[in-house]
Amino acid sequence: MTPGARAAAAIGVLDRVLAGEAAEKALTNWGRASRFAGSGDRAAVRDLVYDALRQRRSAAALGGGETGRGLVLGLMRASGQEALFSGEGHAPAPPAASEAGRAPVGAEVLDLPDWLVPELERSLGERLAPVAEALRARAPVFLRVKLARGTLVGAQAALAGEGILTRPHPLADTSLEVVEGARRVQASEAYRTGLVELQDASSQAVVAALPLAEGMRVLDHCAGGGGKTLAMAARAKLRLWAHDAAPRRMADLPERAQRAGVKVTLTERPEASAPYDLALVDAPCSGSGSWRRDPEGKWRLTPARLAELVGIQAAILDRVAPMVAPGGWLGYATCSLLRVENGDQAQAFLERHPGWRLEAERSFTPLEGGDGFHLALFRRS
């Protein structure tokens, strides 16, 4: 496919996304219907679609409208590639006079919803503009090295042998950032044999900050796919339980745990195995810290949904707190940049639970390289 044909394909996919179809589904359907497209073509179209979603407001302004054509035209104008709209072969038709576009203004420049800017300003202060700029770009690919199976240097060498170049990342002592060959990772021997796992560097840093010790009874209450469960297991020999409100999210965890040589007990009722020495609540949240990876989430979030999430977070913390043994720890984490989900939520927990104290709190933003994350670490009296 020519660059122009790839742009036209991205326009078609984006029109389906703007009509309500999930981006992954729309891309999959396009790929199945476009057998002529090679792997490079599919990757290029995917990148265009996700870049357009990350930069949806500014691209729409530059391209003259919030349509698939407008978004791709805006991207091309921003990067000096408007000539791709030539009408030649399978390329999009040249821009009409009505598609002159304009410079983005206000929150369009930041590619953020208007309603969320005041909360982000309260949360980030002077970092708002650079963080918003970071969220407009593709996220790096990070790997977690299982130090029980090898060293960072050894993992780098093994990956390099398969054309995957990496460098250590300062956020975590287990973290490698992929700088070349990211699309080869999941087919690599290092990945298949469990030497490395895909995991964001900030997520690894959250686990590294937990007070883990040999023999601890640990609950991962919102386990999902189990990334943090396994990361905790890699740091100490623990007795591990994993729970999720939607058990199907943990469907792959037993196989992943077996590959890692770790025993994890899945439980639908974590109260039955309490008390725990440490409980980790990686709570449902806005996902604002990971909008580089899920740009659709930026535009789906509403004030009502944010308020609902804050209520869910508080309810989970109230449920888990009694499961922690006296002197035990509760880690509250979100992949959110919003104070209402982070510092405010931590303070509200302390006000409801006077038998707890806040021992540590740390925020990460994409400016440090990984996703936006927040960790509040409480200890029970």
Is 313 within 8 Å of 335 (Cβ atoms)? no
Q: What is the DSSP letter of 111?
A: T
pLDDT at 299: 96
Query: Which residues make beta-bridge pairs with 239?
Result: 217
Is 224 within 8 Å of 244 (Cβ atoms)? yes
Please name which of 229, 144, 257 lies closest in space to residue 195, comparing C-alpha atoms: 144
Q: Is 222 part of the annotated catalytic residue set?
A: no
Please name which of 218, 235, 236, 239 lies closest in space to residue 281, comparing C-alpha atoms: 218
DSSP SS3 for 215: coil
Is 169 within 8 Å of 155 (Cβ atoms)? no
Query: Which residues make beta-bridge pairs with 363?
Result: 374
Is 140 within 8 Å of 293 (Cβ atoms)? no
Is 372 within 8 Å of 203 (Cβ atoms)? no
Q: Which H or E run contains 282?
A: strand 276-282
> Could you give the CA distance from residue 263 to residue 267 in angstroms, rounded to a whole number?
13
Q: Which residues of 221-233 are buried (b: 16+ CB within 10 A; e: fewer)?
A: bbbbebbbbbbbb
Angle of CA points 35, 38, 40, to nearest 5°: 150
Please name which of 333, 338, 357, 334 lies closest in space to residue 347, comparing C-alpha atoms: 357
Angle of CA points 16, 22, 26, to nearest 5°: 50
Catalytic residue among 250, 335, 346, 376: 335
pLDDT at 230: 92
> Could you give the CA distance from residue 271 to residue 279 in angstroms, rounded to a whole number?
11
Is 288 within 8 Å of 113 (Cβ atoms)? no
pLDDT at 193: 87
User: Which segments of 188-294 does DSSP mark as H helices, in order?
Assistant: 189-192, 201-208, 227-233, 253-260
Helix 303-320 with 343-352: angle, nearest 10 deg = 40
Distances from the Cα of 153 to the Cα of 147, 156, 165, 195, 230, angstroms: 10, 5, 12, 12, 21
> Could you give the CA distance from residue 374 to residue 239 in angstroms, rounded to a whole number?
25
Is 180 within 8 Å of 140 (Cβ atoms)? no
Characterize the bridge pairing of strands 217-220 and 276-282. Answer: parallel
> pTM for this structure?
0.93
Is 325 within 8 Å of 359 (Cβ atoms)? no
Q: Which H or E run contains 345?
A: helix 343-352
Q: Sign (positive/negative) of CA torsion 64, 69, 75, 79?
A: negative
Q: Phi and psi for 9 in degrees, rounded to 5? A: -65, -40
pLDDT at 156: 96
Per residue of the chain (381 residues), give pLDDT as tens. Answer: 999 999 999 999 999 999 999 999 999 999 999 989 999 999 999 999 999 999 999 999 999 999 999 999 999 999 999 999 999 989 999 999 999 999 999 999 999 999 999 999 999 999 999 999 999 999 999 999 988 888 999 999 999 999 999 999 999 999 999 999 999 999 999 998 889 999 999 999 999 999 999 999 999 999 999 999 999 999 999 999 999 999 999 999 998 888 888 999 999 999 999 999 999 999 999 999 999 999 999 999 999 999 999 999 999 999 999 999 999 999 999 999 999 999 999 999 999 999 999 999 999 999 999 999 999 999 999
